Amino acid sequence: MAYSDKVLDHYENPRNVGSLDKNDPNVGTGMVGAPACGDVMKLMIKVNDDGIIEDAKFKTYGCGSAIASSSLVTEWLKGRTIEEAYAIKNSEIAEELALPPVKIHCSVLAEDAIKAAVADIKAKQAAKVSI
Amino acid sequence: MSNPHTNYFQLFALPERFNIDIQSLEVNYRKIQSASHPDRFVSASTAEKLHSMQLATTANEGYNTLKNPATRAKYLLEQRGINAISDTNTAMPADFLVQQMEWREHLEEAKVAKDLPTLESLVIQLQAEAKSIQTELADLLDTKKNDIAATEATRKLIFIDKVCADARQAIEQLE
């Protein structure tokens, strides 16, 4: 199966690989995994006081499509609000990367990682308010 | 693809459970293989040839499915109407994913550093982890019939087997 040029580009030059300080109250972490292929994905977002994502980093162990999906979303996330981030659909990721049907689950993984990271930052913010 | 009409446990005359007698599986598998061997069907009708070929194929699939603990657990759950590795289910316990990430990182670092002892100790650690999940699975699937907990344990086992296979591959490439 051939990867699309966009997948290859992200796979060979992944953007925003790494991590942020997980103890920072403005950093949300989302971790998800797909047992079918053994992929594991960690996405971290840094949100400013206006609810806008300033930075995003990822670390993914998996196939090219999983790496490309997470690399792409880190680019998309910067500058968006957490609500906008939450609304990103896996179909948009799959379409942008021209993922074949057997690799759609990689985009599902990326969408779920965003949702998990947003949920984490919201939980942190709620905890901050209640203190 | 598994043949939906054949239950692999029945095929090998085994009770439908996680803890199976591997020796009986081997023996019954070989019986079917020899009974369906093409040499026995040289002068048989086309229909008989086809039937024996299908039986041999099903036996191969069934043997491979039941021999491996992770695929056996997944198959048992399928028989109970549960797809343990559905694409849309990406939630795993956070501590397990953190652990999974750490194993992957260790593997990656050891691979780059061509550090054979670390890779070997990682394989041993993963095998021990797999073993303990298998014990847990026997309890969950056979005794407690807790399919929800068993699904999570099966997903963990599939993950661990994958890292373990990748670690072994890294070792092979170094040797």
Amino acid at A131: I
Mutating which of B85, B90, B112 best tests the A interface, going by the most A Cβ atoms within 10 A? B90
Q: Are A103 and A37 in contact (CB under 8 A)?
A: no
CB contact under 8 A, B87 and A37: no
Question: Looking at the predicted structure, is the pLDDT value of residue B80 above 90?
Answer: yes
Could you please report the per-residue DSSP string of chain A?
A: -PPPHHHHHHHHS-SSBS---TTSTTEEEEEEEETTTTEEEEEEEEE-TTSBEEEEEEEEES-HHHHHHHHHHHHHHTT-BHHHHHT--HHHHHHHHT--GGGHHHHHHHHHHHHHHHHHHHHHHHHHHH-
- Tell me whether residue A63 is one of the annotated catalytic residues: no
Looking at residue B66, its pLDDT comes to: 98
Enumerate chain A positions whose Cβ falls within 8 A of a Cβ in B.
Answer: 31-38, 40, 42, 59, 61, 104-105, 108-109, 112-113
Q: CATH for B8-67, among 1.10.150.110, 3.40.50.800, 1.10.287.110, 3.40.1160.10? A: 1.10.287.110
pLDDT attached to residue B4: 54
Query: Do residues A82 and A121 lie in contact, with contact meaning Cβ atoms separated by under 8 Å?
Result: yes
B26 touches chain A (CB under 8 A): no
Angle at B94 between CA B93 and CA B95, to 5 degrees: 95
Q: B159 contacts in A (CB within 8 Å)?
A: 33, 35, 38, 40
The predicted pLDDT at position A63 comes to 87
How many Å apart are CA A54 and CA B69, to the nearest integer? Answer: 45
> What pLDDT, on a 0 to 100 scale, did the predictor assign at position A37?
79
| pLDDT in single tens digits along all 131 residues of chain A | 578 999 999 999 999 999 999 899 999 999 999 887 788 999 999 999 999 999 999 999 988 999 999 999 999 999 999 999 999 999 999 999 999 998 999 999 999 999 999 999 999 988 877 65
Which one of B84, B87, B163 has the shortest CB-CB distance to A38? B163
B35 touches chain A (CB under 8 A): no
- The interface predicted TM-score of the complex, written ipTM, equals 0.78
The widest CA-to-CA distance across chain A, in whole angstroms, is: 53
Average pLDDT rounded to a whole number, residues B138-149: 96
- Specify the length of chain B in residues: 175
What pLDDT shows up at residue B119? 96
Indicate if A106 belongs to the active site: yes
What local confidence, expressed as pLDDT, does residue B38 receive?
A: 85
Nearest CA in chain A to B162: A38
> What is the rounded end-to-end Cα distance, in angstroms, of chain B?
35
Where in chain B are the domains?
A: 8-67, 94-174
Q: CA-CA distance, B165 to B168, in Å (whole number)?
A: 5
Residue of B nearest to A59 (CA): B101
Q: Which homologous superfamily is B94-174 in?
A: HscB, C-terminal domain (1.20.1280.20)
Provide, rounded to the nearest whole percent, the portion of chain B with pLDDT above 90.
79
Does the distance separating the beta carbons of A36 and B92 come in below 8 Å?
no
For chain B, the average pLDDT equals 92
What does the pLDDT read at residue B1?
41
Residues of B in contact with A37 (CB under 8 A): 162
Query: Is A61–B84 a contact, with Cβ atoms under 8 angstroms apart?
Result: no
Mean pLDDT over residues B91-100, rounded?
Answer: 87
CA distance A79 to chain B (A): 26
**pLDDT for residue B163:** 94
Average pLDDT (B61-77) is 97
Please indicate if any CB of chain A lies within 8 Å of the CB of B123: no
- Residue B3: is its pLDDT beyond 70? no
